[in-house]
Amino acid sequence: MRCNRLGKTNIEVPVIGLGGWALGGGYDWGNADERTVQQTVEAALQAGSNLIDTAPIYGSSEELLGRALLGRRSHVLLSTKCGLVKNGSWTDHDLRASTIRTQLETSLRRLQTDFIDIYFIHYLDPQVPWQEVLNTLLALQKQGKIRYIGVCNIPADTLEEMARTGSISCVQDELSILHAQKATRILEICRAYQLGFMAYGPLCGGILSGKYRREPNLRRADARNYFYKCYRAEAFEKAQSIVARVKQIADRKQVLPVQVALAWVLAQPGVTCALTGARSAQQVQQNADASAVTLTAEELCHLTP
């Protein structure tokens, strides 16, 4: 597995990491099976994908990962998040200092660890200035409970202001062939301030694998129904034209479409790694093998919308 340095930090991360959202099941992804989680994590570690990302809001992900990683903590880079809390059927933003401290302590207990390698602000809280949030996280960093501070889903102008403080080390945002322009400005800022960039959603919930030839009949609460905007009507048809290009290049290179889609993400300037969801050892290995796929300039141009 190829690795990249995460921004200006002293850690190397694999170019393909394991995203823990789907592993947690819940409303977004259906039932979670503990044995499957253990097998998936084992496959990821064997493949060299030892960066594992999760969040308190991802169903049972933290608890399941904590048990799957028991005795293996020293071999894993763990990231989790703060700022989103469940309030009945609603999800609220809450980045008050007391909530951050409570969320972190709960994550540490669930993950059965003493520290988090990269602790992300999941989304900004409009009620709490980001400067206050950073001060809270810096205090926790001094206590040794988190190694590095990261941010997710941040508007570019705010990200640049935060980057100037020198307090953050990493950014997470959505990036895939279907959202080729979405992170352009974010990546420019990451390059300018030497921030690591983790791409989430590189396969858009699996659509870039080519497995959806017709619009899937998804539950209303399914993440592919509300989070990824490419499974309905015109958006689905538009996605299929990109999927066809991905498959064409995959056939030519004798690799899988998922590997071409991931290779495209990894080829974007400023990208440190791609976080890939998986719910089986086979999916983990297929994703990990993208590390060895290189796309030519012509192929990258052909794929980019």
**Residues identified as active-site:** 58
Dihedral of the CA atoms 202, 203, 205, 208 (nearest 10)?
A: 160
Report how far residue 273's alpha carbon sits from residue 277's, in angstroms, rounded to the nearest whole number.
13
Report how far residue 180's alpha carbon sits from residue 203's, in angstroms, rounded to the nearest whole number.
12
Count of alpha carbons within 13 angstroms of residue 215, beta-carbon side: 13
At residue 139, what is the residue type? A
- Dihedral sign for Cα 296, 183, 89, 66, please: positive
Report how far residue 54's alpha carbon sits from residue 46's, in angstroms, rounded to the nearest whole number.
19
Compute the residue count for the chain.
305
Q: Is the separation of the CB atoms in 19 and 200 below 8 Å?
A: yes
Q: Is the separation of the CB atoms in 17 and 52 below 8 Å?
A: yes
C-beta atoms surrounding 35 within 10 Å:
8
Q: Is the separation of the CB atoms in 243 and 249 below 8 Å?
A: no
